[in-house]
Amino acid sequence: MKSNPVGFQGEIGSYSEEAVRKYFQGKASTISYKTLHDLFQSLENNEIEQALIPIENSLEGSVTEAYDLLLKSTVKVNGETILRIVHSLIGHPGVGKQDIRTVYSHPQALAQCRRYLRILGVETIATYDTAGSVKMLKGTKARDSAAIASRVAAETYGMDVIEEGIEDEENNYTRFFLLSRREAEPTGEDKTSIIFSASHVPGSLYRALEEFANRGINLTKIESRPTKQKPWEYFFFLDFEGHKDDRNCKEVLETISKRTDFLKIIGSYPRVKEKV
């Protein structure tokens, strides 16, 4: 019996839905949302219990909207998974690559296929979702247009894969966060994600980070985002190995909370074990 549906952003057949199936080994039902904002709102309003969101891509970097929403939200990160992204050029049955003049897809997908599209010499138009662009194309008779999405999306909407593996680099992976209103218990193989801001003075960032080095805690990601409150001031998004309730990590968090202007723990969760 399947559990309560897991929310994702995009249409049926999207990479996010594929990531849900991978994370839950096909044992979870899904519910789709057009925007990340709608997805977060549904989770916060207790309409769903869990959601999976893309957080960063190995070629194009972080999904900034996701980080901005995590900054303001009360939901917690409960887990992570990594999905290999294989893009396909998708069109109506019988359409060839030489027929295409316009290509639709999510901005990240278009960016990940930039070189291919330049050689193809087509106009690109951004949409809200990869699978959504296939669904939209399905509703038209435009045989001079195509979409970029997964083979699953093509099969879902009865369209043809014109060419597969069109991403500019094979090393194309997207990392996803599993979100919930509850916190995950320690497993011994965990990561923690936090957000903090440091004073706009020399050495403030160093003083916040030195505790991790002093205690031998491995940092796996650090990224800055504008606070949008004052020009040139930033929030820092940091991932490190360990659970927030581990003694070593707990002491570090207590120390840096005194050295920063703002600190938010967005979750401790089992780290993904697969290698990419």
Listed by start position, the domains of the chain span: 3-83+172-180, 88-164, 190-270
CATH number, span 3-83+172-180: 3.40.190.10
160-164/173-180 β-pairing = unpaired
Q: What's the rounded Cα separation, in Å, for the pair 146 and 159? A: 10
CA distances from 276 to 82, 150, 273 (A): 8, 19, 10
Q: Which alpha helices (H) appear in 139-215, and where do they start and end? A: 151-156, 204-214
Q: What's the rounded Cα separation, in Å, for the pair 158 and 113? A: 23
174 is annotated as an active-site residue: yes
pLDDT score, position 230: 79
Task: For the domain made up of 190-270, give the CATH fold.
Answer: Alpha-Beta Plaits (3.30.70)
User: Can you give the pLDDT of all 276 residues of the chain as single tens digits?
Assistant: 356 899 999 999 999 999 999 999 988 999 999 999 999 999 999 999 999 999 999 988 889 899 999 999 999 999 999 999 999 999 999 999 999 999 999 999 999 999 999 999 999 999 999 999 999 999 998 999 999 999 999 999 999 999 999 999 989 999 999 999 999 999 999 999 999 998 777 888 888 899 899 999 999 999 998 888 878 788 999 999 999 999 999 999 999 999 888 999 999 999 987 666
Domain 88-164 class in CATH: alpha beta
pLDDT score, position 1: 38
Q: Do 43 and 7 form a contact (C-beta atoms < 8 A)? A: yes
Q: Which of 8, 24, 40, 176 is catalytic?
A: 176
**Sign, Cα dihedral of 109, 85, 270, 210:** negative
- Same fold: 3-83+172-180 with 88-164: yes
235 is annotated as an active-site residue: no
The residues near 18 (Cβ < 8 Å, ≥ 6 apart) are: 83, 150, 152
Q: Do 250 and 177 form a contact (C-beta atoms < 8 A)? A: no
Q: Which of 30, 127, 130, 174 is catalytic?
A: 174
Q: What's the rounded Cα separation, in Å, for the pair 209 and 58? A: 24
